[in-house]
Amino acid sequence: MTLDFLGTLKRTHMCGDLRAADADQHVVLMGWVNRRRDHGNLIFLDVRDRSGITQVVLDKEKSGEAHAKAEAARPEFVVAVKGKVRRRAAGLENPNMPTGEIEVVAEELLLLNESKTPPFSPAEEAIGNEEVRLKYRYIDLRRIEMQHNFALRSRVAMAIRNYLVGEGFIEIETPFMTRSTPEGARDYLVPSRVHAGEFYALPQSPQIFKQILMISGFDRYFQIARCFRDEDLRADRQPEFTQIDLEMSFPTQETVFAVVEGFLTAAFAAAGIVLAPPFVRMTYDDAIRNYGIDKPDMRLPAMVSLTDLLTPELRTTLKIEQDLPILGFVIPKAGDLSGTQHKGVVNEVRASFGDCGLDLLDVKRLTTSTEFEPLAKSIRDKLTRGYADFIRSNGCADALGVDPDSPSLSNDFLTVVITPKLGTPAKWNHDPQWIYKRVGALRLELAKKFADKHKLFEQTHTAADFKFAWVTDFPMYEWDEESKTWLAAHHPFTSPHEDDIKAGRLTSDKGAVRALAYDIVLNGTELGSGSIRIHRQDVQAEIFRSLGMTDEEAKARFGFFLDALEYGTPPHGGIALGLDRIVMILAGAASLREVIAFPKTAKAIDLMVDAPTPATEAQLRELHLRIAGRT
Ligand code: ASP
């Protein structure tokens, strides 16, 4: 096939631009053949670029040469079309295409490049095999949906940059080749050729550098930063990912929250969604008490404490352990289960609690006994009040199709009440909040199971889809059963609450120390976390010590940073949010891989470039490395 040269031909419009008002204009379009339909004397080519698709008509009678070339054209050939815009005849418009009112009648067709038959067509919506998509990523990325995702990603990143720069933040790059950062994951290491046996680490985050930038007086830093963590990959993790990373001097937590709320509002506006900050703030303890988890999904009603409704006598009769919490929650719209369905739920809950001592209280059965009927009523009343409050504060009466003031509201939901059987332990692995956490997990599980009924997870593409919360006052330490020690729950530069330092709890009562750490949560996922940092060398050294690190160990790992802290470090704090996840949510995508141009598989492989690969003997020798063996 003879291909044409582009020569001096210039494109006049993108393929998604033309409308009825452009009729009779002479235009030049360039792009890929999305589809080709051959009707003999008439050939239709749908020509696609990143902006959309235009239908091009080639008429043998009018332009024989162009028609002959169109006969040779195949999907994914690269073409240029010179022609005239024509309104489509009445009845032939395509309302599903933005350019569906017009077509371009070709006068000239240039075949700029041919294409092998692609392994899948970017014109098709459903493309099954993800491995094939990743191997031929360049073809996958041609799909309109992917083009949309990356245009959105670019707009979101730009909106965030503009907002932060407007707030006085300076964008500063920090190194990729550095030393281990303390985010708690495994490092990716880069061997040094010049220094035999020594390695750089890729940053798990710019944490230490951004703190040093505060010591350097930059006051407000940000970076849309790549981070690298060698973790065992779960479905929604990537070995390299992008954070919106920021740090500020002299902030309170609220200063950080306002900046994040501002840039998220700008980012969501770039996707056409109007947020209304401030977001809900809640302490870690409240999150656990009300949602049983530190990343509450507030699209669903919270748990309700029923502890005060059961007197010690009632607990004795019903064989419920004294003094432990009794929790209930409702699953909206699941109140009309059949007897068998209800039994199914009961069995499932009992099986999932297994041997931990928790049990489901059958409130329906209580109703049938005169002795327990008043208790059943008070439980249902309290849960109904909670549900009505949820509907009112979430403004979801219409979405759920219920009236919060209706007397029949209690028929609308499934009631779940969990009690501790006699002998249930108050702590599980040192954790006094375990009951809240188990019941919270059940709440999410059942809400997922009945999602078709309550539809509270469905997207309406408005701000109502997005329930944000700040979770504050996290515990500073976590007990590790394996090593029988307290470990830092966050990176070790996180400041403890000033009151807890003053009260000496760092040494006397680690379990009670709160951190000035916070998370931003959206619909039950953590979008980001941050903290007010330690800015005093003495406190930093004490934290390292309280984590079981000797002064020598701390010096060996973070000596440069401890030194820097001694040269006038201002109080400072910051946060980092996952950009990939934010874009994924805004794009309504099912996985991070839909919003990362060249992602890795769950086994950390790049299928397109085929990485990782073995190094050559010569490379290894230069790097002073020898491969010991494979496992
Ligand atoms: N460096 C932390 C992280 O990546 C965030 C922060 O504390 O600002 O999770």
Is 629 a residue whose pLDDT tops 80? no
Is 236 a residue whose pLDDT tops 80? no
Mean pLDDT rounded to a whole number for the chain: 94
Indicate whether residue 223 lines ligand 1 (CB < 6 A): no
Is 631 a residue whose pLDDT tops 70? no
pLDDT of residue 343: 87
pLDDT of residue 486: 85
For helices 434-449 and 339-353, give the axis angle rounded to 10 degrees. 140
Q: What is the mean pLDDT of residues 246-275?
A: 98
pLDDT of residue 507: 83
pLDDT of residue 23: 97
- Residue 73: pLDDT band with limits 50, 70, 90: very high
Summarised one tens digit per residue, pLDDT across range 466-477 is 999 999 999 999
Residue whose entry in the numeric block shows the structure tokens 């599903």: 96
Q: What is the mean pLDDT of residues 108-119?
A: 97
Q: What is the mean pLDDT of residues 600-618?
A: 95
Rounded-to-integer distance, Cα 179 and Cα 176, Å: 9
pLDDT of residue 234: 67
Rounded-to-integer distance, Cα 530 and Cα 519, Å: 6
207: CA distance to ligand 1 center in Å?
Answer: 6
% the chain with pLDDT above 70? 99
pLDDT of residue 630: 60
Closest CA to 25 of 113, 86, 97, 99: 86
Summarised one tens digit per residue, pLDDT across range 284-317 is 999 999 999 999 999 999 999 999 999 999 999 9
What lies within 8 Å, CB to CB, of 135 at 6+ separation is 119, 607, 608
Q: How far are the Cα atoms of 27, 370, 419, 424, 622 from residue 357, in angstroms, in the given order?
A: 74, 27, 9, 5, 61
Question: In residues, how long is the chain?
Answer: 631
Angle, CA of 326, 330 and 331, to the nearest 5°: 140
Closest CA to 449 of 421, 491, 414, 479: 414
Q: Which has the higher per-residue pLDDT, 541 or 200?
A: 200
Summarised one tens digit per residue, pLDDT across range 37-68 is 999 999 999 999 999 999 999 999 999 999 99
pLDDT of residue 442: 95
Evaluate whether 328 touches 553 at the Cβ level (below 8 Å): no
Indicate whether residue 575 lines ligand 1 (CB < 6 A): yes
pLDDT of residue 288: 98
pTM score > 0.85 for this model?
Answer: yes
Is 233 a residue whose pLDDT tops 80? no
Rounded-to-integer distance, Cα 583 and Cα 387, Å: 32
What lies within 8 Å, CB to CB, of 343 at 6+ separation is none
Q: Which has the higher per-residue pLDDT, 492 or 108?
A: 108
Indicate whether residue 206 lines ligand 1 (CB < 6 A): no
Indicate whether residue 205 lines ligand 1 (CB < 6 A): yes
* HEC-encoded secondary structure of 311-380: CHHHHHHCCECCCCCCEEEEEECCCCCCHHHHHHHHHHHHHHHCCCCEEECCHHHHHCCCCCHHHHHHHH
Indicate whether residue 54 lines ligand 1 (CB < 6 A): no
The answer to which of 67-76, 349-358, 421-430 has the lowest mean pLDDT is 349-358
Tokens for 183, please give them.
């985010």
pLDDT of residue 483: 84
Residue 241: how many CB atoms within 10 A of its CB?
Answer: 18
Indicate whether residue 529 lines ligand 1 (CB < 6 A): yes
Is 350 a residue whose pLDDT tops 90? no
Residue 281: how many CB atoms within 10 A of its CB?
Answer: 14
Is 515 a residue whose pLDDT tops 90? yes
Q: What is the CA radius of gyration of the chain?
A: 31
Tokens for 60, please give them.
């043998």
Q: What is the mean pLDDT of residues 385-391?
A: 96
Closest CA to 302 of 358, 378, 383, 364: 383
Mutate which of 491, 516, 532 for ligand 1? The one with the most ligand atoms within 8 Å of its CB, which is: 491
517: CA distance to ligand 1 center in Å?
Answer: 10
Is 222 a residue whose pLDDT tops 90? yes
- Residue 480: pLDDT band with limits 50, 70, 90: confident
Helices marked H in 190-252 — which ranges? 207-215
φ, ψ of residue 486 in degrees (nearest 5): -85, 130
Evaluate whether 174 touches 206 at the Cβ level (below 8 Å): yes
φ, ψ of residue 625 in degrees (nearest 5): -120, 150
Is 544 a residue whose pLDDT tops 60? yes
φ, ψ of residue 76 in degrees (nearest 5): 75, 5
Rounded-to-integer distance, Cα 141 and Cα 334, Å: 41
